[in-house]
Amino acid sequence: MISVSNVSMRYGGKILFEDVTTSFLPTRRYGLTGPNGAGKSTFMKLLSGELEPQKGSVVRPKKVSVLRQDQFAFDQFRVVDTVIMGNLPLWNALEEREALYSKPELTDADGMRLGELEGVVAEEDGYSAESDAAVLLDGLDIPEPFHHRNMGELQGGQKVRVLLAQALFGRPQALLLDEPTNYLDLESIHWLQNFLTHYEGVLVVISHDRHFLNSVSTHTADIDYQAIITYTGGYDDMVLQKTQVRARIEAENAQREKKIAQLNEFIARFSAGTRASQVTSRKKEVERLQTTELARSNIQRPYIRFDMKRPSGRHALECKGVTRGYGDLEVIRDFSANIQRGEKVALMGRNGAGKTTLLKALLADGPGVDDKDVGIDSGSVTWGHEVQIGYFAQDHRPGIPDGTTVEQWLHNWDPQASREEIRGLLGQMLFKGEEGAKPTEALSGGEAARLIFCKLMLQKPNVLVFDEPTNHLDLESINALNIALQKYDGTVLLVTHDEDLIDEVATRIWHFHDGGIEDFLGSYAEYGAVAAQ
C-alpha cells in the first residue's frame, strides 16, 4: 500500500494540491488523471520518493518500480542488463557474484559471501532473469537481435520501451508509470494492457490514452479543485461520476438559494414588526441553508471544428504502383488505392512498418503541402479536383519557425483574416489573453500541436492528413480532436495508436503487416470482427 497523509504542494502562488490524504491499495490499478499543469507528474514523484512533500508524508512499500524518463542513463549497458536493473537487489547480487568468480583464487570469506549471493539470486528469480527480461522486451517490440546490444545503439523510442520493460521487471510491490504508452504501437499497447491487468501490486499510471485507462484502471484518482478524489472505475466512469456529483450539488444549491431568497424576503418585510421570533428563526434557517461553495475546476477544454472552404471532387486521391524507400531499404512497394471524398482512412501497424513513409509518398505534389520530405521513388499519385490538403506532420515543431509570435505566425496563413478571427481561433485552442504574443520558440510540444490545429481551422482544407497528432495532447484535447474528426465532412488520412480515435473516426483501415498493406473497407470494429474469424 502507498499511503499519503496531509500532503500539500505549491509553486509560488499556485497551489497544486492542499492537505491531500489518500491511499493506493494492492490489486487495485489507479489511473491518475487531471489536465496538463494540474500536478500529475509532481504527485507521481512524491509517490516514488523522488520529491519530498512541502507538507505531510508519504509511506510506500520497500520495492517500488518507476518508469524512468532519462533515455541516456544506460547507454553503456546491454539492453537485457538494463531491464534486469529494474530489480536492483538482484542486479547488485549478480554483479558482485561475477566479480568474485573472476578472482584467480577465492578465500573462505569469498566462498561464504558467494553462498549468500546465490541465496539472493535464487530468491529474486535470478536464474531465469535473462529469459524473463526477453519476454518483456519481445512483448514491447524489441526483437531478440537487439537484446545484447548496448542501449546507446538504440533509437529514442526503442530506449523508452526498454525502460518500460525495466519498470515491469522483478515483481515490484508498487508500479508507477508516467505515460507508458508513448512510442508504443497498438500491438504493444494491447500486450501492456494484458500484463497490467494481471499485475497484483499497487499500480498508479498516468496516460493520455482514454481507451488504455478504461481498459486497465479499476479506480481513477483525479487531480482537480486542488485536491485528489478517487472514483471507482476507469476514465469514462470517473467523468460520469464527477459530472453527476457536480450537477447534484449545483441543483441543491439552486434549491437552497431559492429558499434563502424567500426567507430573506420575509425577514425584510417583518424585521421591524411584531413577528420578531419568526424573523429570528428564519435568520437561523438562512445560516443553516448556506450553499455549498463549488471550487472552480482547472480542466480546460479546447474547441476544435474543421470546416471546408469548398468540397473536393468525388475522387479525392488515386495512387498506382507507389514505391518509396531509403537507400537500399524498400519500405513501400507497388501500393495502389483509390480514396473517395469523405472517407476516413486509419493507417495501423507496428512501429517502423512504413505508415509515415506511405503518408509522405502520397503527399507528393499534394496541393497546399510545402514539406520538403515528401515524394515517391516510382509510381503515380493523383490528387482529385479542387483538393486542398491540411497536413499535421509527426515532427511538426520545425514547421513553426522561431523569431515570430504565435499570433503573427498564424496570421501569415491567411493575411485577410481579421485580428478578432485570429484571436478567436487561438482562444478556442486555449491561448488566452496575451498568449498570442508568445514567442514561437517558447512553445511547448502541446502548445505547438494546438497551434497547428489553429492553422488547419483557419485554412479550411477538404483533406486532412494527420501523422500521430495526439503525441503531445492531454485527454481533453484528444477528445476534442476525436469529436471534430467525426463531424468533419472532408477526407481524412490518419496515423495514430489511439484506439478510441481509430474506432470512432475511421471508415477504412490500411493495416501494415507481414511486409504488405491490407486495405479493409469498413470500421475498426468491423475489421477486428473479420480478423478474429
pLDDT digits (tens, 9 = 90+) for 188-199: 999 999 999 999
Residue 213 has pLDDT above 60, yes or no: yes
Confidence grade of residue 34 (pLDDT, cut at 50, 70, 90): confident
pLDDT at 228 over 80: yes
pLDDT band, very low/low/confident/very high, at 227 (cuts 50, 70, 90): confident
Q: What is the mean pLDDT of residues 275-296?
A: 68
Average pLDDT over residues 194-210: 93
pLDDT tens-digit readout, 293-341: 555 566 678 999 999 999 999 999 999 999 998 888 889 999 999 999 9
pLDDT in the model for residue 268: 77
Domain with residues 315-532, CATH architecture: 3-Layer(aba) Sandwich (3.40)
For the beta carbon of residue 472, count every other beta carbon within 10 angstroms: 18
Which of 228-232, 368-372, 419-423 is predicted with the least confidence, judged by mean pLDDT?
368-372
pLDDT of the residue at 368:
81
Q: How confident is the model at residue 446 (pLDDT cuts 50, 70, 90)?
A: confident
pLDDT, tens only, 411-427: 999 999 998 999 999 99
CA 47 – CA 311 distance, rounded (Å): 52
Instruction: Tell me the pLDDT band of 474, cut-offs 50, 70 and 90.
Output: confident
Q: What is the 3-state secondary structure (H, E, C) of 55-70?
A: EEEEECCCCEEECCCC
Structure confidence at residue 297 (pLDDT): 60
Give Cα separations from 52 to 11, 48, 57, 59 (angstroms).
14, 9, 8, 11
Strand ranges inside 225-358, DSSP E: 227-232, 315-326, 329-340, 344-349
Percent of the chain with pLDDT over 70: 95
> What's the pLDDT at 225?
73
> Residue 291 above 60 pLDDT?
no
Q: How far apart are CA 449 and CA 468, in angstroms?
A: 10
Is the pLDDT assigned to residue 250 strictly greater than 70? Answer: no
Greatest mean pLDDT among 241-250, 290-299, 435-444? 435-444
Lowest mean pLDDT among 58-72, 199-213, 270-284, 420-434: 270-284
pLDDT reading at 255 higher than 80: no
- pLDDT tens digits, 64-94: 999 988 888 899 999 999 999 999 999 999 9
Domain boundaries, the chain: 65-172, 239-288, 315-532
Instruction: Answer positive or negative: Cα dihedral of 317, 322, 327, 331.
Output: positive
SS3 label, residue 435? helix
Q: Average pLDDT of the chain?
A: 89
Contact call for residues 479 and 505 (beta carbons, < 8 A):
no
278 pLDDT band, cuts 50/70/90, is: confident
Q: What's the CA gap between 256 and 292, in Å, rounded?
A: 9
pLDDT at res. 396? 83
pLDDT for position 76:
93
Q: How far is CA 345 from CA 246, 260, 341, 385, in A?
A: 38, 57, 11, 19
Residue 439: DSSP 8-state: B
Average pLDDT over residues 113-134: 92
The mean per-residue pLDDT over the stretch 235-245 comes to: 85
